[in-house]
Homo-oligomer: A and B are copies of this chain.
Amino acid sequence: MSESSVPTSRTRVVREPERGVYDRDAVYRILDEGFICHVGFNLDGQPFVIPTSYGRSGDNLYIHGSAASRMLRNLDKGIPVCVTVTLLDGLVLARSIFNHSMNYRSVVVLGTANVVQDPGEKLEALHRISEHILPGRWAESRQPNERELKATFALRVPITEFSAKVRQGPPIDDEEDYDFRTWAGVIPLETTARPPVADERGNPEIPVPSYARSYSRRKV
């Protein structure tokens, strides 16, 4: 079931409007492949942009609050945020400098971030964030205690006003440039994992778990 968001004047893609994506399922696929967002908020008229981890539960984004201590100062009633997730897929080499580009998929969610107060929802939010980054890890770790939960924040951002912008495929040059003698094409980029490095203080009898051996963000 796919639902399209009606873009608002704030989420409609202004430049290169053909790259705008407003389909909720398509946006969620991007959100589910990424795991680092950049959260924007204002403090005394100054914008701040902070990278942090996140997870999704239905139509809510949960943001890990550790990176947001500045933001949390006056968050009693919620504050306006912009949550942006960007997946970089490649460098696009055209014949003309002007038509050089990147292949990417990015999502912008505008909304109000609220601190999750309910202990049950908070634990579930942290669980979701953990599973989002590394499925299976939560269950094999020492569970959080009261003190740790108190020192951690989770923020909830409802995914109501959003859009994505996507560019994929080969370079698009002006017709008269196709004879220009330079190589043209795409350098594909991806985030890859190298072999896991065991902690020197770790127990060598414990095998590397499968989720650490073959880590990948690609969804099947």
Residue numbers of A with Cβ under 8 A of B are 10, 14-15, 36, 38-43, 45-51, 53, 66-67, 69-70, 80-84, 86, 88, 91, 93-98, 100, 102, 104, 106, 108, 110, 126, 130, 133-134, 137-138, 140-145, 148, 151-152, 170-171, 177-178, 180-203, 206-209, 212, 215
Q: List 5 A-B contacts (CB under 8 A).
A: A47-B82, A49-B82, A93-B134, A97-B138, A187-B212
A188 touches B197 (CB 8 A): yes
Q: How far is the CA of A193 from the CA of B187 in the complex (A)?
A: 6
| Interface residue SS majority, chain A | mixed
Q: How far is the CA of A134 from the CA of B182 in the complex (A)?
A: 14
Q: Which of B10, B94, B183 contacts A207 (CB 8 A)?
A: B183
State how many angstroms separate the Cβ of A206 from the closest Cβ of chain B. Answer: 5
A141 touches B199 (CB 8 A): no
B86 touches A48 (CB 8 A): no
A46 touches B82 (CB 8 A): yes
Known contacts A142-B97, A192-B192; is A206 also within 8 Å of B187 by CB? Answer: no
Hey, which chain B residues are within 8 Å of A197, CB to CB? 170, 185-188
A80 touches B49 (CB 8 A): no
Q: Which of B50, B185, B201, B208 contacts A178 (CB 8 A)?
A: B201
Q: How far is the CA of A49 from the CA of B108 in the complex (A)?
A: 8
State how many angstroms separate the Cβ of A158 from the closest Cβ of chain B. Answer: 15
Q: How far is the CA of A172 from the CA of B151 in the complex (A)?
A: 17
Q: Which of B98, B145, B208 contacts A144 (CB 8 A)?
A: B98
B137 touches A100 (CB 8 A): yes
Known contacts A38-B84, A189-B192; is A93 also within 8 Å of B142 by CB? Answer: no
Known contacts A36-B86, A144-B98; is A190 also within 8 Å of B187 by CB? Answer: no
Hey, which chain B residues are within 8 Å of A94, CB to CB? 141
Could you list 7 further interchain pairs (A-B, Cβ under 8 angstroms) beyond the known A36-B88, A51-B106?
Answer: A42-B42, A48-B108, A51-B86, A96-B144, A142-B180, A182-B206, A184-B198
